[in-house]
């Protein structure tokens, strides 16, 4: 190690940057998805765009969560998957006590508090139980939660592991317990549109720059998905953005800023999980009944519904069999 350190010190800055990229690429190919994802969250967390939807739950999304969470009062045992700042704030604001925040990235559990603090929201962490664990293996008592909630958690679990994930969540819920989760479903409206045309559609639209960035990102992410793996490579999106030629400097800057938004993800080789409604419904329906589905009306997407799922009881399982 000492020898390697001495040799590396002789390299130019440019060569050192190249070596760093090389190492990241090797790591990205070697690490399993969950390790890449943990690396990504440990390094990034929730810093920006808390008030931008669909990246985060909107006001109306929060009202939907609230409606179903408080159905029957706030004396419920709740498990929050991930550290989504606005969901932590909602639970605390609604008076839930000792809810569990489960996240495999301790850095993100902490960083989410700072993100809230920047919005002027002070949350009392004494009222929370922090659990550093992968959702697939949470060491919690079976059948002990009234409600599990999360924001876009299916985008964080590889499709091949999702059957195990829904089983685990169902096992933690009491009989008739609820799983309330905002979904992210692949929009197929642009499947036959050339990615270049998708870029042009956004470049010449009139929405604000931040909204345009997210709209372009989500459209390319859905359009460039690999149907076999149900994922989209961030590098494929970046290549598409950077190969678009425009003489307009501002538009060029805009496209580079979108590429930059996902460059950290590309660096660790972490794909986006991009699934169709049917693919998700098939997995979920093995363990849950869809009690209700509601879509926020304060942002212009209909592929991010909140699912209110009820754990299937033994009778409903037998009926399916
Ligand atoms: C709630 S999810 C997604 C929310 C967000 N709106 C998004 O899509 O960017 C993100 C959080 O889940 C955590 N996370 C992701 N996969 C996880 C896993 N398998 N086990 C535990 N925590 C996980 C991350 O560390 C992060 O804090």
72, 36 contact by CB (below 8 A): no
Determine the Cα–Cα distance for residues 117 and 89; give it in Å rounded to an integer: 11
Which atom of ligand 1 lies nearest, measured to the CA of 150? 1
| Any atom of ligand 1 within 6 Å of the Cβ of 41 | yes
Q: Does the Cβ of 151 fall within 6 Å of ligand 1?
A: yes
* Residue 177 structure tokens: 């317990």
For residues 48 and 245, give the distance between their C-alpha atoms in angstroms, rounded to a whole number: 29
The whole-angstrom separation of Cα 239 and Cα 110 is 34
C-alpha of residue 82 to centroid of ligand 1, in Å: 5
Torsion of CA 276, 278, 283, 284, to 10 degrees: 100
Q: Which atom of ligand 1 is nearest to the CA of 41?
A: 25
| Res 13: pLDDT | 81
Say if CB 168 and CB 138 are below 8 A apart. Answer: yes
pLDDT tens string 62-85:
999 999 999 888 789 999 999 999
Choose one of 82, 131, 306 to mutate for the ligand 1 pocket test, by most ligand atoms within 8 angstroms of C-beta: 82
Q: Whose CA is nearest to atom 15 of ligand 1?
A: 156
- The residue whose CA is least distant from atom 13 of ligand 1 is 82
Query: Helix-strand-coil percent breakdown of the chain, rounded to 5?
Result: 50, 15, 35
Q: Are the C-beta atoms of residues 149 and 78 closer than 8 Å to each other?
A: yes
| Cβ of 40 less than 6 Å from ligand 1 | no
* Four-residue CA torsion sign, 210, 214, 219, 220: positive
Give the C-alpha separation, 244 to 252, whole Å: 8
> pLDDT per residue over 107-119, tens digit each?
999 999 989 998 8
> Which residue's C-alpha comes closest to atom 6 of ligand 1?
56
Handedness of CA 112, 117, 121, 125 (dihedral sign): positive
Q: What is the mean pLDDT of each run of 10 residues along the chain (321 residues)?
A: 87 82 73 88 77 89 96 90 96 95 95 90 92 98 97 97 98 96 96 95 82 91 96 94 91 93 88 97 97 93 94 68 49
Residue 269's CB is within 10 A of a number of other CB atoms, namely 21
**How many helices (H) does the chain have, and how many strands (E)?**
14, 9
pLDDT at 227: 96
Report CA torsion sign: 273, 164, 88, 309. Answer: positive
| Cα of 108 from ligand 1 centre, angstroms | 9
- Residue 206: the pLDDT is 75
pLDDT value of residue 317: 60
Residue identifier of the C-alpha nearest atom 11 of ligand 1: 82
Tokens standing for residue 213: 């960035």
How far away, in angstroms, is 206 Cα from ligand 1 center?
A: 32
User: Chain-centre distance of CA 174, in angstroms?
Assistant: 26
Q: Is 103 in the pocket of ligand 1 (CB under 6 A)?
A: yes
- Which parts of the chain are beta strand (E)? 78-81, 99-103, 128-132, 145-151, 173-182, 231-232, 272-273, 288-294, 306-311
pTM of the predicted model as reported, rounded to 2 decimal places: 0.90
Q: What pLDDT is recorded for position 48?
A: 67
Protein residue closest via CA to atom 10 of ligand 1: 82
Locate 153 and state its tokens.
């958690």
Pocket test for ligand 1, best of 45, 104, 299 (most atoms within 8 A of CB): 104
Cβ 202 under 6 angstroms from ligand 1: no
The residue with tokens 């929009």 is 187
Instruction: Please give the Cα distance from 117 to 18 (Å, whole number).
Output: 37
pLDDT for 80 equals 98
Could you please report the per-residue DSSP string of 162-207? Answer: HHHHHHHHHHHEEEEEEEEEE------TTTTS-HHHHHHHHHT--S
Give the model's pLDDT for residue 74.
79
Neighbours of 7 (CB within 10 A): 9
Residue with tokens 């036959």: 192
pLDDT value for 320: 54
Q: How far apart are CA 71 and CA 202, in angstroms?
A: 40
Ligand 1 atom closest to the CA of 165, numbered from 1: 19
Q: Is the dihedral of CA 145, 147, 151, 155 positive or negative?
A: positive
């Amino acid at each position: 190690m000492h020898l390697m350190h001495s040799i590396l010190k002789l390299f130019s800055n440019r060569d050192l940057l190249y070596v760093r990229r090389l190492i990241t690429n090797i790591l990205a190919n070697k690490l399993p998805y969950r390790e890449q994802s943990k690396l990504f969250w440990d390094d990034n967390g929730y810093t920006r765009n808390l008030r931008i939807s669909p990246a985060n739950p909107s006001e109306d999304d929060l009202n939907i969560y609230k409606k179903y969470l408080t159905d029957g009062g706030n004396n419920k045992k709740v498990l929050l998957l991930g550290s989504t700042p606005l969901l932590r704030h909602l639970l605390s604001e609604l008076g839930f006590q000792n809810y569990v925040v489960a996240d495999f990235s301790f850095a993100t559990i902490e960083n989410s508090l700072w993100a809230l603090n920047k919005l002027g929201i002070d949350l009392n962490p004494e009222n929370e139980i922090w659990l550093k664990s992968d959702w697939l293996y949470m060491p919690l008592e079976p059948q002990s939660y009234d409600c599990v909630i999360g924001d876009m958690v299916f985008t964080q679990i590889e499709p091949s592991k999702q059957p195990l994930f829904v089983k685990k969540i169902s096992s933690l819920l009491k009989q008739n317990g609820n799983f309330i989760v905002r979904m992210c479903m692949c929009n197929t409206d642009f499947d036959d549109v050339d990615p270049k045309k998708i870029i042009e559609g956004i470049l010449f639209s009139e929405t604000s720059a931040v909204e345009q960035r997210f709209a372009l990102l989500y459209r390319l992410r859905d359009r460039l998905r690999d149907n076999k793996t149900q994922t989209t490579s961030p590098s494929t999106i970046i290549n598409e953005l950077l190969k678009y030629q425009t003489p307009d400097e501002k538009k060029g800057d805009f496209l580079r800023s979108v590429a930059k938004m996902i460059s950290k993800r590309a660096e660790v080789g972490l794909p986006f999980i991009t699934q169709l409604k049917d693919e998700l419904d098939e997995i979920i329906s093995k363990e849950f009944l869809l009690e209700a589905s509601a879509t926020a009306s304060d942002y212009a997407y209909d592929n991010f519904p909140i699912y209110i799922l009820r754990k299937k009881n033994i009778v409903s399982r037998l009926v399916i069999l």
